[in-house]
Amino acid sequence: MNILMALSQLEVTGAEVYATTVGDELTKRGHRVCYVSDTLTKPHLGEFFKLRFNKRSVPRRFWHVAYLVYLIKKHRIQVVHAHSRASSWSCYVACKITGTAMITSVHGRQPVHASRKKFHALGDKALAVCEAVREQLITSLGVAPELINIGRNGINTEHYQPCPAPHNTKPVISIIGRLTGPKGELCYRLLDECLDLDNYQVQIASGSVVPERFARFKTKVQFLGYVQDVPALIAQADLVIGAGRVAMEAILMQRPIFAIGEANAIGLVNEDNLTGAMSSNFGDIGPKDLDIDFSRLAADIASALMQPSPSAGLVAQVKVQYDLQAVVEQLEQEYQSVYVHKQRREMPIIMYHRFIKDDTEKGVHGTYMHVDMLEKHFKLLKRLGYETLIFSDLAKQGVAERLNPNKKYIMLTVDDGYKDNYELLFPLLKKYNFKAVIYAVTGEEFNRWDVEQPDNPEKRVPLMSPAQIKEMANSGLVEFGGHTLTHPHLDTLDKETQRFEIAENKAQLEQLIGKPLYSFAYPFGSHNQDSKDLAKELGYPYAVATNSGPLAMHEDKYQIRRIAIFPRTDVFGLWRKIRGNYVFRKRK
């Protein structure tokens, strides 16, 4: 996907570290990530466009919006991800003009005023970095709860490994954070009121220019400026003071962290107070700013220096909550959801069954397609520029690949594994160089499930032979998926009977073709929670239904919706069904 990260800042902030950290990981996963901001200090992958969001006059605001519209159109941006109030306002207007999906990460407490209540400018989804931010957005600004998810900071745990305690002759205290705004006020008061600068070696890492009022501390405090190697700085400290990402990074390195931020002082973080610390982003967000009793901090900091390093259990909990891979997985989900629902478009997954060459082969259930019409379908797909995807492609490249703005994808699926798939479909796949997924029943030789239906019996139609299945699988054009042994209504069976039907079918197919199966199709589309749980448990990354499941396929990988193709689906009918918005219109 094409993603634009938007920030407004004049110095390095936690938002920039977050945006570039997750942005680089997204880039490694195949997305194209660009940045627009006043400044961007952290090394990053992807293009950077300079825009002075902090110049907020009315003419400037118009210029911000116009430039963002230009970037969105030129670079075919699919999702704008804003990270600050100033950038989110302009991004919101630009996205309204262009119809672009937008997400805003809210990294701190928001100012409350009438205009902000009426005009949140958060876009299609807000990601609050902690529970306190989410609560404030709901209670103070009136943002609908369903529009807000928790989106933790992502930490690359490989960069922050546990390290032994240093052997300093004098306790080293590292303060990491800005020297401007509320954090600057906090740092000043720590130096002025709380820290024994004669007995502690205090060093401050900040991207801020040192304000003049800090000059009085320069003889006793090391002002390091912007530090590129933060892990090395943390490793040499007996105690780290900070909030937000700083706290998480220190815990991962098993260095004691005294969490204090713009709202409150958590103190030394341990397993007992971790949940509360996380909910406030380690002291950064609370009901009001600087709600801190500074008279107690000197004693609390002295006590913290005497405590042991964070436990392995504490490190493990932080890894679970802030692991970069998990955070980026969530972001990919959010991006896909806002994009698909905003555009009301999804990659079409169409469903055939069997194919005929003359009218004598017609059935009574309407699950056939004349091969001549099938070729007309393929000609249309080729003419419209469609490329075919199969589930192994998605497993390797990620589900978001289906939304690649430079491609036009469709997925062809065929149920049951009839012999005519080999005789009629296979030659056309070769001719048009299309790929398809065939869901094969392995415990029957013909369509017994339809033939022995008492109310409306179908004519007998043979299934493919093992040799035919193997030949198609070896062609590189056909991916086989599971479809049970006998094609039952799974939701009528107990769990263990379902397990046998699904597991044995999978084992037989994998042994036959010598390849793993990537998806399973519920016969008749009938399933229950046991069916979905078993598909996952037995190793299927994906499972498809028929006309049930979310409209966006990534939102439930075990109930992927498909579009049925019927005998009367002519070329125009196919075009209507593959435009991308068919399931959205159908659900109205």
Distance CA(557)–CA(508), nearest Å, equals 23
Q: Which of 101, 120, 150 is the last residue of a domain?
A: 150
What is d(CA 464, CA 441) in angstroms, rounded to the nearest whole number? 9
pLDDT at 290: 59
Q: Which residues contact 256 (CB under 8 A, 6 or more apart)?
A: 238, 239, 240, 250, 268, 304, 305, 307, 309, 310
Q: Last residue of some domain: 150, 172, 202?
A: 150
Residues 162 and 142 in one domain: no
Output the CA–CA distances (angstroms, integers) from residue 375 to 196, 382, 424, 480, in the order listed. 82, 10, 10, 21
Q: Are 416 and 483 in contact (CB under 8 A)?
A: yes
User: What is the rounded radius of gyration, in angstroms, for the C-alpha atoms of the chain?
Assistant: 29
Does a structural domain hold residue 169? yes
Q: Are residues 58 and 188 in the same domain?
A: no
Specify the 3-state DSSP secondary structure of 352: strand
353 and 448 fall within a common domain: yes
382 with 415, same domain: the answer is yes
- In terms of domains, do 57 and 204 share one? no
Tell whether 332 is covered by a domain: no
Which residues neighbour 81 within 8 Å (Cβ) at sequence distance 6 or greater? 3, 4, 5, 6, 19, 102, 103, 104, 105, 335
Structural domain contains residue 327: no
Assess whether 169 and 229 both reside in one domain. yes
pLDDT tens-place string over residues 98-117: 999 999 999 887 777 666 66
Query: Does residue 405 lie within any of the structural domains?
Result: yes
The residues of the chain scoring below 70 in pLDDT are: 113-117, 286-291, 587-588
In a domain, 330, yes or no: no
**Assigned domain for 425 exists:** yes
**CATH number where 420 lies:** 3.20.20.370
Task: Please tell me whether residues 515 and 579 are part of one structural domain.
Answer: yes
One domain for residues 135 and 75: yes
Same-domain pairing of 174 and 251 = yes
Angle between helical axes of 85-98 and 58-74 (0-180°, round to 10): 60
Contacts of 206 (CB under 8 A, 6+ apart): 176, 177, 178, 179, 223, 224, 225, 226
Domain final residue pick, 150, 171, 197: 150
In a domain, 315, yes or no: yes
β-partners of residue 436 are 478
Owning domain of residue 399 = 344-583
Same domain, 208 and 130: no
CATH number of the structural domain spanning residue 175: 3.40.50.2000
Is there a single domain that holds both residue 315 and residue 348? no
Q: Which residues pair with residue 299 across a beta bridge? A: none
Beta carbons of 171 and 165 less than 8 angstroms apart: no
pLDDT at 364: 87
Q: Do 404 and 360 belong to one domain?
A: yes
Residue 442 lies in a domain: yes
Residue 114 pLDDT? 67
Give CA–CA dist 154/324, Å, rounded: 4
Q: Say which amino acid occupies 359.
A: D
Domain count, the chain: 3
pLDDT tens-digit map of 186-234: 999 999 999 999 999 999 999 888 999 999 999 999 999 988 899 999 9
> Quick one: pLDDT at residue 116?
66
